[in-house]
Each structure stands twice: as C-alpha cells, then as structure tokens.
Structure 1
Amino acid sequence: MGTFTNGPVTIAYDDHRPDGTGPPLVLVHGHPFDRSMWAPQVEHVGRTGRRVIASDLRGYGRSTVVPGRTPLQVFAQDIADLLDRLGVDEIVLGGLSMGGQIVMEFHRLFPDRLRGLVLADTTPQAETEESRRAREAMADRLLREGMDGYAKEVLPKMVAPANLRRYPAVAEHVLGMMRGTPPDGAAAAQLGRAERPDYVASLARVRVPALIVVGDEDEFTPIADARLMHELIPGSTLVVVEGAAHMPNLERPAVFNEALSTFLDAIPGER
C-alpha cells in the first residue's frame, strides 16, 4: 500500500505492476466501500501484465475522513492529483455506482487523459428533487446511527439474495466494507452526490472506447440506465451480467473479468 498526501488529505492506494504495459487501468470504488472491492479485477488484470491502480476515496477505507460535503468534482480531482504524483498521464478509468459517476466527472474535467471508460452499475442522470432529499436524509441517518443498520438494510440489494446464500464470503466482504466505512465520510459523499450534475450531454461527447456493465438484478441502477449510457456513447459495449445485482464484479467475477479483459485487449498500447 502507498499513500499520497495532498494538503490535509492522505489518499491510500495500491499500484500493481507499475512497470506494466499499455495504458494503466485505474479503478474507482463505489459507496460505501473501499478499494478492496476490486480485488478480483486487480488480480486478474495484473496477471496480463497491465498496471492497475486502485485507491480509497477520501472518507473511505484508509484515506482521510473529511466531514461536511464532498462533491464528485473533489473525488475526480483527487484521482488526477494522485496520477500526477505517480507520473501517469493517460489511463483507462473504471468505476462502479458512485465510482462510475466519479468516472463521468473525471471525463467532464479531464477528457484528454482518458484512453477508455468502464462504467459499471451506475447512472448518468442528475438527482431529482425527491432523490436529493432522500440522500440528504440518508446522510443525516448515517451521522446519527452509524453504518450498521444501513449496511444490513441494503446488503440484499447490493448482492442478489441468491448470491448471499451461495457465496457467503462475498456477502461477508461487502457487509464488512459497508460497516467499516466512517459515517462522516459516507455522509459527506451522499451530500455531494445530491448536487451532482447531469452527465447525459457529456457522455454523448465521449470519444474513447467504453464498456458498460450491469447486473440484471440491479435495483439501484437498473438495466435501463445502462442502456441509456450505451445509446449515448458512440461505439460503446454493453454487457448484462445474469444473476447479479449491484456488484457483478464480486458476484460474477469470471464474467466481469472476461468482459473487462476483452475490452482492455482492444485498446492500443500506444497512441
């Protein structure tokens, strides 16, 4: 594990195969998780010789907790600053759920640094007034009650109920990440997401290869959201993972990894 200190914030990250070939793959975790959610992908892609970078977002994992409100722009800037510190220019950037929205924000801010996009179980639309109020209420709840009740409540939506029974280690991992997330960090991210912009217009301007993945049982970001992104991004690839909910990378890692490898193999090493 490495750390990168930027002002008052220290970001924890893993940099696998820094001498790897091709544009590095940078993976952004979702809420309320940490970089360990990408373990199957880090191992799989690393075996191909490609560099893989995964960090804990501020407020999550082993990175600094910053109370208040953390907009997606701040998360995206943290990634850019980490890449600058590591001397990395162009990347393939992938994220799941909130991580996917951070990927979209990174594209809005730094399109010239991208060689490819991976958008998993995420949505490009701005919050509605109703969903904005719901996020604000959830932030209040997390600060008041902590993470335990929320984690138990959403676990059957994060991981399909059949997979909770079939893969207890996955269920334990997901529950542990959620319980271990600092409430201040999770609440700050929820408040920041409540103000996120609409990415529909910017996705239509994507000019790099894009892979869109979604679990067919995802209730948070259903297949319709994935299809919308597929229609918006010219030449994008859509993969629907059967028998998975919101975390197909952990529920069906072999299927997710195959789609990811096929996508990465098609991206030229030099430009």
Structure 2
Amino acid sequence: MPSADTYTAQTLHVEGHTLAAWTFNAHLSPDERPPIIFMHGITASNSMWQIGQTPHVRAHHRWYALSLPGHHPATFPPDHLALEIQPQAHARIMTAAIRQLVGERPVILAGHSTGGFLALSIAALSIAAQKNSALKVAGVVSVCGFACGRWMGALGLLQRLAGGGIFGHLGFRAALRVMAVHPAIFKAAVSLYAHDRRALYRHPPTLPTLSAMYHHAARLDASAMRQYFYRLRRIDISANLGHITAPMLVIAGQYDPIVPPSQSRRIAEAVPNSRLVLIDGAGHLPMSERAADYDRAMSDWLAQHFDPQDQNRRR
C-alpha cells in the first residue's frame, strides 16, 4: 500500500490558467467516502497540506491539494485582468479544475483563509448560477475563511499598500521581495499570522512545511499577488451564503489576527447545516497552533457526516 504522504502531481489547464493538483491516497475509493479538495491561502502553496494533514483524512479519504490561480507553480494567462479576480470567475475556474480531478462525483471542499473563501464561493455561487450543472458539493470546511475580504494585521497592511497608488505598489513589491530573501525571514513573516507562536514552532510539521512553502513563495508573481490583495478587499459574498445546503464545518482561531472570528460566526449563522468550532488559544493557523483541537474537530465532523458505518447505524 502506498504511503499516505505519496502523491501524484498533475497540471490542469482551465481558460488559459495552469493549476497544480496533488492527489493523495489514490488507492482509496472515492465512492465510499467523498474525496476532499484542499485549497491553500493567499501567498501559500499546496505544500501546506502535505506534512501535517489530519490523521483521519490520511487514513480514510482520497484527497487533493489544489493550487489557487496565480500561485506558484500555477500561473495566470498572459492577458489576465485584475477584474477577473472576482468570486464568480474563480468559482468557475476552480469548479472546472475540480471536475478534471473527480468528474461528476460529490466532493468535500476544504480551504484555509482565502482557500476557505474559495470553498464558500464555489459552493454558493456555482449552485446559484448553474443550477442543474452545479458541482456536487457533499460538504464544506472553512478554516479561518471569510465572506468579506477585508483583512486585519499584516495582510491588511499589504491590502492597503496594494491599493495605495505608485508608492503603495512599490511598498507591496518590496514586502514580497523581503519575504523571499531568506527562509528565516519567511518563517518570521508567517509567525505574524499566529497567536501562539511558541506552539506554532513546537508543532513538528511546521518547519518542514515552511521549508517546502518557501520554495514556492520565493517564486510568486508580485503583479498577480497585488491583484489578489487589492481586489479581495472589495469583495463580499455574504449575501450568497444562504445558497449552501451541504453540511459545513467552520473552524476559527479565537485570537485570529488576520480574519476576525466574527466572520466565521456570521458564516455559520448564514448556513443552516453548519457547525462552528472556535479554537481557544489559536490565531490564523489553528492546524499548527492547536493541532490536537483542530484534528479533533475535523475528524469528528468527517466521521459524523461521511463515515459509512456511522451512517448505517443511523438508518
């Protein structure tokens, strides 16, 4: 049997975009339990999911790490416009990519931060816009995700620079360059996302994960990232959340310095079949700051909704 860390890499082509997809647990049947599509946050990469993945997922689900458009090694089309960084466009692109991976099978959409926003967008907007041809969404997991893209802290500052005219643009590019100068600087930058930095770096997967992510972060396209930071600040999909009917797990760090936990509360209130888990002592990286609590929340929810034995007992 292959190792749970073994993956197959694919390059997907959608509307001129190239997206990177990694398939894990390809030996597990996607018909017994829905496959899970994991989407990373802004300036991150597929590498964030590989090493510290929840044990329940590693044991029971086929799962995929799917890159966000424009995030290395993914690329935008040469003629990509800032106006195309809109929820509807990204939901359409990601839906097409997911169909290339799983066909018509139901999937669980899971994402961290901007990846959580995309999971919400795909689930809400594809259903609202396409009706009969919508992606079959079996469940949604939002980890520190958001419906309103106005951030706080370090990422909020980068948003303001991205929209701040020529000097703001120069400041934004300089910030990305500094982050990519050395792995130690990248590590320090990531610590700004956390509330409990000591716990973050005590978590065994953190350092190898950051080392893998740095390889991609150092190759980010500054123009593509500036478009994201500028456009997301003006996006709000709150009015569309009511279209989501699938079970949803909403995880938030109680002390998130980037996305206030009030966003997760509003998301959970807007979606009928949702469970909200606020993780005490965690910031924007609960999977590392409070790994046991995060793993428990994920495992319990997945077992409740997608464990065939549990479902048979309830019949």
**TM-score bucket of the superposed structures, by smaller chain:** 0.7 to 0.9
Q: CA deviation at 1:152?
A: 6.5
Matched residue, 2:144: 121
Q: CA deviation at 1:84?
A: 2.0
SS in structure 2 at match of 1:246: coil
* Structure with larger Rg: 2
Matched residue, 1:53: 64
1:111-159 per-residue CA deviation (whole Å, 9 max, x = no partner) reads 352111111112223549x987554246653335534349577433312
Note if contact 1:203-1:232 (Cα within 8 Å) is conserved in structure 2.
yes
SS in structure 2 at match of 1:267: helix
Q: Is the counterpart of residue 37 in structure 1 residue 48 in structure 2? A: yes
Matched residue, 1:95: 111
Q: CA deviation at 1:265?
A: 1.8
- 1:13-32 correspondence to structure 2 within 5 Å: 13-18=21-26, 19-20=29-30, 21-32=32-43
Q: CA deviation at 1:203?
A: 1.8
Given the alignment, which residue of 79, 82, 86 partners 2:94? 79
TM-score of the aligned structures, taking structure 2 as reference length = 0.73
Matched residue, 1:161: 197
Q: CA deviation at 1:221?
A: 1.4
Q: CA deviation at 1:93?
A: 0.6
Q: Which has the higher contact order (CA 8 A, sep 6+)?
A: 1
Q: Is the counterpart of residue 11 in structure 1 residue 19 in structure 2? A: yes
* Cα separation, partners in 2 of 1:167 and 1:263, compared to 1, 3 Å: closer
1:137-189 per-residue CA deviation (whole Å, 9 max, x = no partner) reads 46653335534349577433312332355348625744763643512332232
- After TM superposition, the structure 1 stretch with the greater mean CA deviation from structure 2, 149-158 or 13-22, is 149-158
Matched residue, 2:131: none
- After TM superposition, the structure 1 stretch with the greater mean CA deviation from structure 2, 145-154 or 15-24, is 145-154
Given the alignment, which residue of 275, 283, 293 partners 1:245? 283
State the one-letter code of the partner of 2:11. Answer: T
- After TM superposition, the structure 1 stretch with the greater mean CA deviation from structure 2, 21-30 or 7-16, is 7-16
Note if contact 2:248-2:274 (Cα within 8 Å) is conserved in structure 1.
yes
How large is the RMSD of aligned CA atoms in angstroms? 3.0
Note if contact 2:254-2:283 (Cα within 8 Å) is conserved in structure 1.
yes
Note if contact 1:3-1:10 (Cα within 8 Å) is conserved in structure 2.
yes
Q: How many residues align?
A: 267
| Percent identity for Structure 1 against Structure 2 | 22
Quick one: distance in 2 between partners of 1:235 and 1:243? Answer: 26
Quick one: distance in 1 between partners of 2:290 and 2:150? Answer: 29
State the one-letter code of the partner of 1:193. Answer: L
Q: CA deviation at 1:29?
A: 0.6
TM-score of the aligned structures, taking structure 1 as reference length = 0.83
* Cα separation, partners in 2 of 1:201 and 1:265, compared to 1, 3 Å: same
Quick one: distance in 2 between partners of 1:73 and 1:92? Answer: 19
Quick one: distance in 2 between partners of 1:173 and 1:46? Answer: 16
- 1:136-155 correspondence to structure 2 within 5 Å: 136-137=163-164, 141-149=171-179, 151=186, 154-155=189-190
1:177-234 per-residue CA deviation (whole Å, 9 max, x = no partner) reads 36435123322322331332x2222223322211110112211112222222222222
Matched residue, 2:231: 192
SS in structure 2 at match of 1:22: coil
The gaps in structure 2 that reach 5 residues or longer are 1-8, 128-133, 181-185
SS in structure 1 at match of 2:94: helix
Given the alignment, which residue of 99, 103, 121 partners 1:105? 121
Note if contact 1:241-1:256 (Cα within 8 Å) is conserved in structure 2.
yes
Matched residue, 1:255: 293
The gaps in structure 1 that reach 5 residues or longer are none
Q: CA deviation at 1:30?
A: 0.4
Quick one: distance in 2 between partners of 1:167 and 1:265? Answer: 25
Quick one: distance in 2 between partners of 1:206 and 1:139? Answer: 36
State the one-letter code of the partner of 2:21. Answer: Y
Q: CA deviation at 1:16?
A: 1.9
* Cα separation, partners in 2 of 1:135 and 1:46, compared to 1, 3 Å: same
SS in structure 2 at match of 1:266: helix
Q: CA deviation at 1:250?
A: 2.8
State the one-letter code of the partner of 1:136. Answer: G
